[in-house]
Structure 1
């Protein structure tokens, strides 16, 4: 009888057609550094720092596939005019020895149409509490157009020098909202059964694969649990993951949870910075957050590896490489993920606090993250994502 030792998280690893220098990915965190929806020097520096700090790959977020697919007007969207800046960005990440990934997606019902100037789209007619507007139901033509746009955006990512793309199937953005029985009340071929609700996800992943082939790696960020009664949950997530694996459309899944539309703090765990969120909002949304924020922005106790329980269920059911996200802050947690059968780990808040954390862990395995999970970084996405406990330097 032989046993196989878990992989070394700091050793090189294959991800589809590419090799990363280690198994640690900087996960997508909206940077708030793209006024004019174009790359800036600030955005480049935001990703250069964790690349220099030792991550295997840095994920650029959020790269909308269409102008109405942005959550707000300042977000980057994939178009030829963005290519020169994106090339400078990928060159800067590569110069530090890391790979570059572009998170591609469409905000759907999460979009603030008052900000973007375009109608927000959902599976069914609904209400967005952030924009205080009714969201219209996407037509079949809208769905087809947005599916094609993901393929076009992926081709642009290749041209821009990205090594990978991550398709956003989480947080009740467009594709994720179709998965949710709470948000998807359609009676056509895109609603009802899980097979119907998963059509947008599967068709989108196929469109990306057809567009780029094996030239770059394809990841998908998949919700396991919306965090709301009647929403998408892990039992259905397992089936969707199995379908994606059978389709051969993705090289890995990054598992996530929560709804940016209905329960945003479910993803993050830790303190709920209601006062800071309110201060970042324009009126009358600011007043609404001040008065009703506790009903929408919930606090959840933080613990390391807080998604492991749900992710372990997906791990037992699929053979695809999986990325464990959520409370990955130290070498012990990374080693646990490797021992549990996950091929990669992803970090976000800890790298906002310390972009060089991976290098420090490599030097001393006892290194602990200084992140205190106050989540006051979350409202800073509107003014430049950062840890509020350190002086802003980018």
Structure 2
């Protein structure tokens, strides 16, 4: 059978998407008071009017301590109306909308949030300069229930897809990583135990929403640091998730927001710009030898996770979304030929929100993003491409 075209309609669980392109979740920096704003809606409308089949709102926290910092949306009754307004606007543009649902765990800035962060095991926070608390049984029960409540609220708001964040050293990912999970109870040790929280959350969310919406998860092909999730273990984790039958697709990412963010982004490391955007304590920390090594440099190449992602494709039968360095039409076509059902794009669409339309109309063969990554520090002031000259 011939591979499907990337611009052909596709099913994602119970949802039909107009094409197979996904705007990946990248924090927008447009919710300064933890509420949906016109600017946040316009940010997503730019890419859906630009041709994307599914746009993903990032990052929707399930609990106050699960925010990366205070300027983030916690899903609940007080944010429902704004979320519904955003979903309606996206649907009017002809696209579908996903909400990235998660708990930041050790990636949360406890000082900004006003409540200490949680992780699998106690550890110091490079973000808040506080100690991160080890999650208790009561915490994990509460957080699982919060995922369920968040899922129900997003369904009420009209969202089409729920993306469970299981990557980048966020809470679920921190349980998966043996270097971050030193527990000796039923949540630590063997992979089956470290995988318990992710599987429990996926099952609880699916039981709540049934077939009303699609449920996906973002996982890492590799965390990119010693003690992180390896590719072999991640494949085993993906097999467990597939066997559970709770998810409609997996999005294959990589890296750690806490330990090695550039493993995900690739390209130039904007050390000066990133330090300048940080609070004074973190800015000081980035000047230390350890801080200077935080933003490593990995050369950029198209589809830089492809070799690892092909191992997942070989091991799994469920739909997969390819993420990481997708800027060209031929890269997208290759993803379809490789057996991936969807392609997810981030920086390329930040630079050119209408890129999908232009690729489909043969007005371009590639995006013009230069992968300088100077967009990364702008998440605290409204995520944008600083290379573009303001009109």
Match runs of 1:110-259 below 5 Å: 110-259=107-256
Instruction: Tell me the residue number matched to 1:375.
Output: 373
Take 1:144 and 1:308, find their aligned partners in 2: how far apart are those partners? 36
Contact 1:163 1:216 in 2 (8 A): yes
The residue number in structure 2 matching 1:335 is 333
- The residue aligned with 2:47 is 50
The structure 2 residue matched to 1:82, chosen from 76, 79, 83, is 79
TM-score scaled to structure 2, two decimals? Answer: 0.98
Once structures 1 and 2 are overlaid, which stretch shifts more, 264-273 or 126-135?
126-135
Query: Contact 1:277–1:289 (CA<8 Å) still a contact in 2?
Result: no
Measure how far apart 1:392 and its partner are.
Answer: 5.2
Q: Give yes or no for contact 2:44–2:55 (8 Å, CA) kept in 1.
A: yes
Please give the alpha-carbon distance, in whole angstroms, between the structure 1 residues aligned to 2:285 and 2:335.
40
**TM superposition shift of 1:366:** 4.5
Of 56, 61, 64, the match for 1:64: 61
Unmatched 5+ residue regions in structure 1? none
1:296 match: secondary structure: coil
Matched with 1:363 is 361
Q: Is the 8 A contact 2:250 2:320 kept in 1?
A: yes
Shift of 1:237: 0.9
Give the counterpart of 1:22 among 19, 22, 35: 19
CA contact (8 A) 1:274 1:290 kept: no
The secondary structure found in structure 1 opposite 2:296 is coil
Cα deviation code 1:135-185 (max 9, x no counterpart) = 110001101111111111010010111001100000010000000000000
Query: Which sections of structure 2, spanning at least 5 residues, go unmatched?
Result: none
Distance between the aligned counterparts of 1:365 and 1:305, measured in 2? 22
Q: What TM-score do you get using the length of structure 1 for normalisation?
A: 0.97
Residues of 2 paired with 1:161 and 1:109: CA distance?
A: 30
Distance in 2 between the 1:183 and 1:284 partners? 23
Partner Cα separation in structure 1 for residue 354 and residue 298 of structure 2: 27
Shift of 1:290: 3.2
Query: Offset of 1:390 from its aligned partner?
Result: 1.3
Retained in 2: the 8 A contact 1:15–1:217?
yes
Root-mean-square deviation (Å) = 1.0
